[in-house]
Every structure is written in C-alpha cells, then in structure tokens.
Structure 1
Amino acid sequence: MSELQELLNYVTNCLNSYGLCVLDNFLGYILAKEVQKEVNSIINLQPFVEGQVLSTNPSIRGDKITWVEGDEKYCYFIRNYIKKVDSIVYECKTDLAKNISGRTKAMISIYPRNGTKYLKHVDNPYKDGRCITTIYYLNNDWDRERDGGCLRLYPSMIDAEPIIEPMFDRLILFWSDSRNPHEVEPSFRTRFAITVWYLDEDEIKTSNQECKYQIIKRE
C-alpha cells in the first residue's frame, strides 16, 4: 500500500469513526515555513476585517480574517497547500459518503494576543453546504499553558473533549455540522490559521438555506 493510500485510509477512518482527524507535519518544515511567510506578507497586502457571526453578541468572536483564492501572485505556497488538502478530501469523498464538488476560498485568521477567542459554536448549524472543516496552523513553539488559544471540540461521536494545540504544520479536519461544536480558547499570543470548508453539493441542492460561499470547483 502506498504512503498516499495509507493517509487516505487514515483520514477516512478517523472521520467516519470519530468525526475528526489530526495530521501533524502535514507539509514538512520547509514548505510550511514558506506558507507561514506568505501569510505574514498578506497582512501587509490586503485588509483584514472582524470575523462575522450570526449571533447578535459581537463578543462571541475576536479574530480578524481575510480571504484568498490561492491564485494570487503572493500565494504560491498557500495554493500548493490547498491543492494538497483538495487531493485528500476529493479522493476520500466516496468513502465518506459525501458529494463534495467544491470548496470555499481559504480564510486566513489572526487572533490577536489580548485574550481573543471564539465561543462555542457549530460551523454549519443551518445546512449551508459546508460538510468538512479543515484548519491549518502556523504557530511555532506553541504552549497551551503559556499561550492559550487551543481548539476545544465537543464531538458527539466520541466520549471525549479533545483539546488541539494550534501547532506549526498541523492540519485538523472535522465534520462541520452539529456533530462537532467547538471553541477557540482565549489566546495570549498572536495565533494564525488557514481554514477551508468543503461543500456537499447534495446538501446545497436540498437545503432551504442559500449557500453564501463562492464555490470553487476542483481543477
């Protein structure tokens, strides 16, 4: 069995059995550093805005975000990162019983170091098409006790509440629906992440909710 097939089997088994999957050293140090450099450069190239929420409580979320398609001239390594995640998700979709035909743009988020957080929520509570959340972390030498900022999940598929440190070159995938409520604990160090959601075409077609995301088809 090839290394790629082992990875695909692992992701499929984790999502189907536990509802989430963590992959460390996803790109390898050299490529991950290049993605990190591009994210740092984007801070000076395009505006970041306050993360939006459906709630009327603005304090639920404290991150600042911007979106990239990946084809921008300053996103060469980010684009390659997205293509690698694409290759995994699209290859697994049959075994995951999902009709995944597209994804969102990549959301780059920054949590400032002043205790910013994201209270407990579900990414897709209203069937807007998002079925898999992927989050990639770019934070060197992260320490939960010192820095906070961990992702805490409350999955319905397992009897545990995993706490995921946003470690450098770590990718997490999980179901976007009510199976995975989650929160970002207060961060006391600037925290970076790239989030991409993969979309279930069948849910989009049958839902009463309008998909508010630009659907980017696989190349």
Structure 2
Amino acid sequence: MATAKSLLSFDNDNTVDETLFARIAQDMEQQGFSILPAALPEKLTNSLHLHQRAMDESMFVDAGIGRGDNFIKNDFVRTDEICWINGESEAGRDWLNWTGALQRYLNRRLFLGLFSFESHFAHYRPGDYYKRHYDAFKGQANRVLSLVVYLNPGWTEQDNGELVLYRDDNDREGIKVVPLMGTIAVFLSEEFPHEVLPARRDRYSIAGWFRINGSVTDRVDPPL
C-alpha cells in the first residue's frame, strides 16, 4: 500500500504542496468561503472522475434529508442520488488522505477543532436539483465546514447546474459556482444557505463536511 505522503503529494518531488491549503485558509479568514476553479490536484481529480463514472448505478441511493433514524426522502427539496465514500477504493483512499491533510492544516492555521470528515459522491441527472438550504443550523449540528468538488470535464455555462452560495437569508442573487472539473468550494456550514440548480446534462461531484466532536455521555457524535 502506498504511504500517506505519496497519496497526498501528486507532485513530481513527492512532497505535499500546502499552497492550495493556504489559499483556502486565507479565504476562510477573510470571507468565510473559498471558491477555486480547477484547483483540486489534477491526478486526484482524474482518479475520482474515472472512479465515479465506473461505479455501478446500484451503488447509488436516492438522497434525502438527515442521517440514520432522522433520514427523510423529500423530492420537493432534492432529487439527486449519492454514494458515501468509505475509503474502500484507491480513489476514495486518496481523497480521504487529501481531505485529512486539509483538515490538519486548517486546524493548525485557524484553530477550528475539526474532528472528523464525511463525504459522498453525488450524481444529479438532467433536471435534478437541491433547493436552498443550510448544511447545519446554529447550535443544532456539528458540521463546521462544507466542501464540494466537481468532476465534470467540458462543462459550459450553457449546461447550467450551478451551485448558488448565498451570503445570508436576505441575499436573493447569490454567488454562482459553475461545476467545472476540479473546482473546489468550501464554506462555513452554519453561515451560508445554498442550492443546486437543475442541469442540462449529468452532473457529478463530491460533497463533504468537516465536523467537530459533539459526543456526550450517552451519545457518540459523529457516529462511528
């Protein structure tokens, strides 16, 4: 098995380039979100793209709201399908090692206390959507940072399917993020409502969340 260092580097000299992490941290400090077109390391982007496209459709399930006993499928809110990433594939392991390195960097730079990370592949068929929502509500969840990356080569503005990130509840215009291959979007989960607009073609991405440790005496959170 390859070492964590080699999985993370994607560089010729086998070192971890933290320049991208520094840019994300700077954006988070200044505005609470970071949108970086085609910024995910190319090797990792291509590996994730090829893996997701090769996955059997039976591995995906209809997405819903909530987890575990609180899960509800609601087509009024969202119509995409997902597959959780558990690190069983090489691409999944590379992804989790990269996000783990980002987590350690942000904790060191911003003192966020990020404890764990969860993520899933997402597939939006033509016409699918995810209406305006928060990834976490203040005081009610332990998601701190939301992370989205896009795996769509040759995407154009005419294909639609943008992520729209709103600055607050009163913002009606928002910031549109075109789901270009390798584009990264990171934002504070409790601060920015957002939505996914319908696309004209199949749209592929990964959505993930960095969490704090919300465990109490009789409840483990995040769950094992």
Structure 1 counterpart of 2:184, one-letter code: L
Verify: 1:180 aligned to 2:192, yes or no.
yes
Q: Following TM superposition, by how much is the alpha carbon of 1:116 offset from its aligned partner in structure 2, in angstroms?
A: 0.9
Q: Following TM superposition, by how much is the alpha carbon of 1:34 offset from its aligned partner in structure 2, in angstroms?
A: 2.1
Matches within 5 A, 1:149-188: 149-156=161-168, 161-177=174-190, 179-188=191-200
Verify: 1:8 aligned to 2:21, yes or no.
yes
Aligned-pair RMSD on alpha carbons? 2.6
Q: Following TM superposition, by how much is the alpha carbon of 1:25 offset from its aligned partner in structure 2, in angstroms?
A: 3.2
Q: Paired residue for 1:58, among 55, 75, 78?
A: 75
Verify: 1:69 aligned to 2:83, yes or no.
no
Verify: 1:88 aligned to 2:102, yes or no.
yes
Q: Paired residue for 2:203, among 191, 197, 202?
A: 191
Q: Following TM superposition, by how much is the alpha carbon of 1:162 offset from its aligned partner in structure 2, in angstroms?
A: 1.3
Q: Following TM superposition, by how much is the alpha carbon of 1:140 offset from its aligned partner in structure 2, in angstroms?
A: 0.9
Structure 1 counterpart of 2:82, one-letter code: I
Mapped contact 1:27–1:81 kept (Cα < 8 A): no
Aligned to 2:61: 49
**Which structure's relative contact order is higher, taking Cα pairs within 8 Å and 6+ residues apart?**
1
Give the number of equivalent residue pairs. Answer: 199
Mapped contact 2:85–2:92 kept (Cα < 8 A): no
Mapped contact 2:165–2:195 kept (Cα < 8 A): yes
Unaligned 5+ residue runs, structure 1?
Answer: none
Change (3 A) 1:135 1:89: same
Q: Paired residue for 1:116, among 106, 124, 128?
A: 128
Structure 2 counterpart of 1:84, one-letter code: W
Q: Distance in 2 between matches of 1:149 and 1:197?
A: 21
What TM-score, normalized by structure 2, do the two folds share?
0.78
Aligned to 2:41: 27
SS of 1:14's partner is helix
The Cα offsets for residues 159-195 of structure 1, whole Å up to 9 and x where unpaired, read as: 8721101111112111111x11000011111001112
Verify: 1:99 aligned to 2:116, yes or no.
no
Q: Distance in 1 between matches of 2:179 and 2:207?
A: 12
Greater per-residue strand proportion: 1
Q: Distance in 1 between matches of 2:73 and 2:183?
A: 32
Identity value in percent: 22
Unaligned 5+ residue runs, structure 2?
Answer: 1-14, 67-71
Mapped contact 1:107–1:195 kept (Cα < 8 A): yes
SS of 2:40's partner is coil
Q: Distance in 1 between matches of 2:17 and 2:46?
A: 22
Q: Following TM superposition, by how much is the alpha carbon of 1:95 offset from its aligned partner in structure 2, in angstroms?
A: 3.1
Change (3 A) 1:162 1:210: farther
What TM-score, normalized by structure 1, do the two folds share?
0.80
Q: Distance in 2 between matches of 1:65 and 1:143?
A: 23
